[in-house]
Amino acid sequence: MKNYSAREIKNIVLVGAPSTGKTTLAEAMAYEGKVIDRRGSIENNNTLSDNTDIEHEYKRSIYSTILFTEFMDRKLNIIDCPGSDDFCGNLFSAFKVGDVGIMLFNAQNGWEVGSEIQSRYARILNKPLIGVINQLDAEKANFEAAYESIRAASQVKPVIVQYPVNQGTGFDSFIDVLMMKMYRFKDENGTREELEIPAEEMEKAKALNQELVEMAAEHDDALMELYFDKGTLTQNDIRAGLKIGVARREVMPIFCTSGKRDIGTKRLMEFIINVAPGPLTAPKFLSSEGEEIAAEESEPAVAFIFKSQLEQHIGEISYMRIVRGKITEGMELVNSRTGNKEKISQLFAVAGKNRIKVSELSAGDIGCTVKLKGSRTNDTLSAPAAPVAIEPIVFPEPRYRAAVKAKVQADEERLGKLLGDAKYEDPTILVEYSKELKQTIIQGQGEHHLNILKARLANENKLELEYFAPKIPYRETITKVAQADYRHKKQSGGAGQFGEVHMVIEPYFEGMPEPSKYKVNGKDIAVNIKGKEEYDLEWGGKLQFYNSIVGGAIDARFMPAILKGIMEKMDEGPLTGSYARDIRVIIYDGKMHPVDSNEISFKLAARNAFKEAFRNAGPKIMEPIYNVEVLTPSEYMGSVMSDLQNRRAMIMGMESDKGFDRLNARVPLAELYRYSTTLSSLTSGAATYTMQFASYEQVPADVQDKLLKAYTDTDEE
């Protein structure tokens, strides 16, 4: 196939709520560009997108698919993204390398929660949108209602470019108010005839054309002057104005299609080629240092890997956008993260599972290579003479967590490798073994997200795993001053063990004064600071450790052992075995034996003194609290709020936005297990949420009592 330059390429991302027909439209685009000679269907499991066994089983997109088509001597790279928010990581990576989003709407539903979610992602990532009201051949298709819902909800102003003449099961014609023509389709293979607009439609068409002219003129002073001078604009003038408006995210042109019948596909592609921003006009990629990198073919090569995949018999496949220069077979590039060299053995243009071998890829293009040694998603490959790192994709925070283990103990090692592979392919899956909880914790975007992974491992790798509620990473701390002393004494013939430690502990907070004296249980304790150590604990919070020994009661050489004993007990707190934090410890007295004292004696004495003091210092269990934002249609707001309040949530605020409500709350992590499933059930799948760690806060007394009863102290002295 031809090697395309940056000016001959458009990179588009197909987005929209589930069941808006993205995959079917992508198939029609590939057919119109002669990449395939017949269109597949989702029902027959033979589309370019949705080409995995798990997607065939579920009859929906689960992974993004990269494909291309050739049209009007241009190359359109297309990334077909899943509609479900559980798989939103695909959309983030696609929008990183795509220059414009093609937002599909189901003609029966119009603007949906999925539309709201994905348009919000487009807004966050500053990507322009072109709107397509699809499935106009459906029995209950309603273009006018769909458009009105878009106009009411979208933060980017929609403008009609096409409207249907006979929507519904007989749909075969639409009027294009940019071209001022009617298009009628003779068959289901995109064969169209261009007709004059019927007299009965002329008034409506002229009015919509005038809206288009005014919208185009708004975005350019020269066009506005031309419009005032002549009272109208030419088709090229309108395109020029829309090009500016689309690029600025101020206007969303609306098109008519039936992807299933290949109606309107060619006109949409023509518009994308003529109006949508391309590699030379879209915002430039930024390096990690903030430097703009233009799509210059003559400059040193830079390629950004946005998707990684493992395929049986092939191994690792790396999908990349060429940011600058040209990539050719046999070229050696440097991975900016690892510093290692990578040789590009083969290059391919991608059409789903079909890979077409090419000799080179130029700036602005998208393709793939295979069998790189150590490169993955978010890595940059660049010419050794001009190394650069592209600003990475920032994936959304996980919203669902579960503990995971293999059903058969012997499969645990293989499970670890397969979960590592899953994380390699999907960076929104996070896997770690928690030393604190003694569990392997897996995190994702929702329960469905992790269940798909579970099904895939069972089907493809014959490995059965199970999810269960993860333990909560509680923290322990204290609320008041306490004193304790402990003598460790052991005699068993020969040298014995002896160590005695006296300590005071109190809650630590930022900016507190240095200790000087304490009165505990009627006893005055003076503090003469001989040494101070302060530690930022790896699990959060601080430990302050003071040596206040006077008169040589304990040798300085035993202080590290005393600290070690305290740290061991903070590592496994006295209440529930959770990490302890934010504590000040003062060692003010003790005793030692000239023969029997040693490090182990003082470590054990300190450990037990700390344990006793901790239990007398108003101990409190602290739990992780998360900021949760729920986006829901207004009619479900009462149910959502009631459910959150039952989860001990503190409601922080609410706001309404064009038919949707946003609710912000602070919710304990312990109450969020399987929340995504409950929320989906409460709202018929119409709501979504995000969650982010906020802080640790004390648990209520009744919850603390339950936790203490559930925990049995297993300390062995």
Tell me what pLDDT residue 313 has. 80
Instruction: Return d(Cα 50, Cα 583) in angstroms, integer.
Output: 55
One-character DSSP codes across 121-174: HHHHTT--EEEEEE-TTSTT--HHHHHHHHHHH-SSEEEESEEESS-STT--EE
Across the range 259-263, mean pLDDT stands at 96
Q: Where are the alpha helices (DSSP H) in 249-305?
A: 265-275
**What radius of gyration do the chain's Cα atoms show?**
32
Task: Identify whether 437 is part of a domain.
Answer: yes
Give the pairing of strands 439-444 and 430-434: antiparallel
Q: Can you list the positions of beta strands (E) in 576-682?
A: 579-580, 583-591, 620-633, 650-657, 660-668
* Residues contacting 19, CB < 8 A, separation 6+: 60, 83, 106
Would you put residue 108 in left (φ > 0), alpha (ψ -120 to 50) or beta? alpha
Specify whether the CB–CB gap between 585 and 545 falls below 8 A.
yes
Position of tokens 């233009």? Answer: 294
Tokens of 428: 């929104």
C-alpha dihedral sign at 312, 315, 317, 318: positive
**Same domain as 442, residue 339:** no
Q: H/E element holding 92?
A: helix 89-97
Judged by DSSP in three states, 592 sits in coil
Tell me what pLDDT residue 660 has. 81
Instruction: Return d(Cα 287, Cα 140) in angstroms, integer.
Output: 48
Tell me what pLDDT residue 359 has. 94
**Same domain as 688, residue 577:** no
Task: Identify whether 281 is part of a domain.
Answer: no
Give the pairing of strands 542-547 and 583-591: parallel
Specify whether the CB–CB gap between 64 and 51 falls below 8 A.
no
Position of tokens 């300590």? Answer: 503
Mean pLDDT of the chain: 94
Domain end call among 426, 444, 470 = 470
Tokens of 395: 């994936």
Q: Assess whether pLDDT exceeds 80 at residue 20.
A: yes
Tokens of 555: 């040798």
HSE toward the beta carbon, residue 714, CA cutoff 13 A: 6
Q: H/E element holding 58?
A: helix 53-58
Instruction: Return d(Cα 377, Cα 390) in angstroms, integer.
Output: 12
**Same domain as 538, residue 593:** yes
What's the Cα-to-Cα distance from 686 to each of 4, 14, 399, 583, 661, rounded to whole Å?
A: 42, 21, 16, 46, 12
* Residues contacting 2, CB < 8 A, separation 6+: 70, 75
Domain end call among 439, 454, 470 = 470
Domain end call among 434, 449, 470 = 470
CATH assignment at residue 112? 3.40.50.300
Q: Closest Cα partner for 134 from 164, 104, 163? A: 104
pLDDT digits (tens, 9 = 90+) for 477-507: 999 999 999 999 988 766 789 999 999 999 9
Instruction: Return d(Cα 63, Cα 52) in angstroms, integer.
Output: 9
Q: What are the backbone dihedrals phi and psi of residue 477, each rounded to the nearest 5 degrees, phi first?
A: -150, -175
**Same domain as 498, residue 437:** no
Tell me what pLDDT residue 713 has. 46
Q: Assess whether pLDDT exceeds 90 at residue 160.
A: yes
Q: Which residue has the higher pLDDT, 418 or 219?
A: 418
Task: Identify whether 689 is part of a domain.
Answer: yes
pLDDT digits (tens, 9 = 90+) for 670-705: 999 999 999 989 998 888 899 999 999 999 999 999
Tokens of 161: 């470019």
Specify whether the CB–CB gap between 463 and 418 falls below 8 A.
yes
Instruction: Return d(Cα 378, Cα 390) in angstroms, integer.
Output: 8
* Residues contacting 714, CB < 8 A, separation 6+: none
Tokens of 28: 């029609």
**Same domain as 161, residue 47:** yes
Across the range 606-628, mean pLDDT stands at 96
Tokens of 538: 């790896």
Task: Identify whether 219 is part of a domain.
Answer: no
Instruction: Return d(Cα 12, Cα 129) in angstroms, integer.
Output: 10
Across the range 237-260, mean pLDDT stands at 96
pLDDT class for 562, splitting at 50, 70, 90?
Answer: very high
Instruction: Return d(Cα 452, Cα 461) in angstroms, integer.
Output: 13
Q: What is the DSSP letter of 493?
A: S
pLDDT class for 714, splitting at 50, 70, 90?
Answer: very low
Instruction: Return d(Cα 333, Cα 350) in angstroms, integer.
Output: 21
* Residues contacting 210, CB < 8 A, separation 6+: none
**Same domain as 548, residue 485:** yes
Specify whether the CB–CB gap between 20 and 131 falls below 8 A.
no
Task: Identify whether 118 is part of a domain.
Answer: yes
* Residues contacting 266, CB < 8 A, separation 6+: 32, 71, 190, 192
What's the Cα-to-Cα distance from 567 to each of 574, 576, 610, rounded to whole Å?
A: 12, 16, 10
Tell me what pLDDT residue 493 has. 67
Domain containing 443: what range? 404-470
CB atoms within 10 A of CB 5: 17
**Same domain as 88, residue 158:** yes
Total domain count, the chain? 5
**Same domain as 140, residue 68:** yes
* Residues contacting 605, CB < 8 A, separation 6+: 486, 487, 488, 499, 500, 501, 562, 565, 590
CB atoms within 10 A of CB 376: 18
**Same domain as 540, residue 409:** no
Q: Where are the alpha helices (DSSP H) in 434-518?
A: 447-461
pLDDT digits (tens, 9 = 90+) for 420-443: 999 999 999 999 999 889 999 999
Instruction: Return d(Cα 131, Cα 105) in angstroms, integer.
Output: 8
Q: Where are the alpha helices (DSSP H) in 632-674?
A: 637-646
Tell me what pLDDT residue 712 has. 59
Position of tokens 């197909």? Answer: 14
Task: Identify whether 287 is part of a domain.
Answer: no
pLDDT class for 641, splitting at 50, 70, 90?
Answer: very high
CATH assignment at residue 578? 3.30.230.10
Please count the residues of the chain.
Answer: 717
CB atoms within 10 A of CB 552: 8
Q: pTM above the 0.95 mark?
A: no
Tokens of 518: 């304490």
**Same domain as 194, residue 66:** yes
Instruction: Return d(Cα 16, Cα 28) in angstroms, integer.
Output: 17
Position of tokens 């579920």? Answer: 58
Task: Identify whether 241 is part of a domain.
Answer: no
pLDDT class for 615, splitting at 50, 70, 90?
Answer: very high
Task: Identify whether 1 is part of a domain.
Answer: no
Q: Assess whether pLDDT exceeds 60 at residue 185.
A: yes
Q: Assess whether pLDDT exceeds 70 at residue 717.
A: no
Q: Closest Cα partner for 571 from 717, 404, 715, 442? A: 715
β-pair partners for 440: 433
Tell me what pLDDT residue 432 has. 95
* Residues contacting 656, CB < 8 A, separation 6+: 634, 662
pLDDT class for 161, splitting at 50, 70, 90?
Answer: very high
**Same domain as 79, residue 36:** yes
Q: Assess whether pLDDT exceeds 50 at residue 715.
A: no
**Same domain as 40, residue 187:** yes
HSE toward the beta carbon, residue 555, CA cutoff 13 A: 13
Tokens of 605: 């004495």
Give the distance from CA 155 to its chain's centroid.
22
Q: Which residue has the higher pLDDT, 165 or 595?
A: 165
Q: Can you list the positions of beta strands (E) in 19-97?
A: 65-71, 74-80
CATH assignment at residue 334? 2.40.30.10
Q: Assess whether pLDDT exceeds 60 at residue 152.
A: yes
